[in-house]
Structure 1
Amino acid sequence: MRRSSMETAAAILAAARERFAADGYDKATIRAIAADARIDPAMVMRYFGNKEKLFAAAAEFDLELPELAPDQAGDGLVRHFLRKWEANEGLQVLLRTGVTNEAAAERMRTVLGGQVIPLVTRLTGDPQRAPFRASLIASQLLGLALSRYILQFPPMVTASEEELVVWLGPTIQRYLTD
């Protein structure tokens, strides 16, 4: 059965996400991704050019940042990111891989910077300091994700969403309002 061009690209991306999640960036191969997608490896290269570009496409995430009231944004961001990390293993892969791979780190900077900075600018009305504020917020949220989902520190893994919101929400709020 022949697939359309869009279906082929979608199959490659789905296989790449799964393979990057299972093996990490360095161990995942174009050949393995192609086998998972049931296509020739040359087709992967035709659609995406190289492994780095395939990873960038596979690691493209819409964080779907919610509309937040400025006075409740800290709690809202912590809650939202916890739910995103729980629902999307690809974000965990991006974090894990971003620590050791420059392409993945750049992808993470692009995703977070491109989506969090505009939100911070809207919430604060401070476009000058928004990148710095967003970086502080990212440091907390990425630290949370690293300790809870990657390193799996027992207290972080067992903490409830509400506990984490109570502890981290005020810190994020301070980055937005101070």
Structure 2
Amino acid sequence: MNGSSGRSNSSSAESGGGVRRRSDATRDAILSAARERFAADGYERATIRAIARDAKIDPSMVMRYYGNKEGLFAAAVAIDLRLPDVSAPSRRQDVGRTLVTHFLDTWEDNEVLTALLRVGATNQGGAERMQGIFREQLLPIARQVCPDPEQVPARAALASSQLLGLALTRYVLRIPPVVALPREEIVAWLAPTVQRYLTAPNP
């Protein structure tokens, strides 16, 4: 009796694990398709039906997991930039190069940021997501290195203008001379400007 009950419980647990794995796989497929679609089409033109078709599932499954397009977009563009720690004095002296290199690595390895930038340029919800990333992830980096605490927001915003401008021209607009630039040249040109914005004495 007990042995039978044990087998039944074990079978139920395995079944539950299988359901969770299928559910996770479905969510992953939806999010992957959504990121590619948002990156290619922008927020307004991307549709639940097209995303479901790309993910090879029924549109009702997208609605089941994420409710609507706004909920799907929020989940698709949730991202941790994993910005490096620059608090050590030796890192502060090279924060420009560190950030430019890190952002290049992140943009080229992660379609989420391309989707977010494309949508953020034309959609209020996307813009708010970009502002949240700036506020929650880049401002703390600026606080670690800026010489004047009162100028942290302005300096961080100026650094962002360089990094986002690069991303827009290289990965969204794909302006040929920018796309053709080797990474080393981009870092060499851009790093001193980002460094100056974040660490130079007040003008």
The TM-score range, normalised by the shorter chain, is 0.7 to 0.9
Q: Deviations over 1:132-174 (max 9, x none)?
A: 2211111010111112222223322222222121211111111
The two structures have a TM-score, normalised by structure 1, of 0.88
Q: Does 1:24 align with 2:42?
A: yes
Q: 1:31 to 1:154 in 2, by over 3 A?
A: closer
Question: Which residue of structure 1 aligns with residue 162 of structure 2?
Answer: 140
Residue of structure 2 in register with 1:62 after alignment: 80
Amino acid at match of 1:133: R
Deviation at 1:115, TM superposition (A): 0.8
Q: Percent identity?
A: 57
Larger-gyration structure (1/2): 2
Q: CA deviation at 1:6?
A: 3.1
**1:48 to 2:66 alignment:** yes
Query: In the alignment, residue 24 of structure 2 is paired with which amino acid?
Result: M
- Alpha-carbon shift at residue 80 of structure 1 (Å): 1.1
1:125 CA drift (Å): 6.8
Alignment RMSD (CA, Å): 2.0
Aligned residues of 1:75 and 1:165 also touching (Cα < 8 A): yes
Deviations along 1:25-71, one digit per CA (max 9) or x if unpaired, are 22211122223333332332232222112111101111111123111
Distance of 1:80 and 1:162 partners within structure 2: 12
Of the structure 1 ranges 16-25 and 110-119, higher mean CA displacement relative to structure 2 is found in 16-25
Residues 1:22 and 1:148: Cα distance change in structure 2 (over 3 Å) = closer
User: Which shifted more, 133-142 or 145-154?
Assistant: 145-154
TM-score (norm. length: structure 2): 0.78
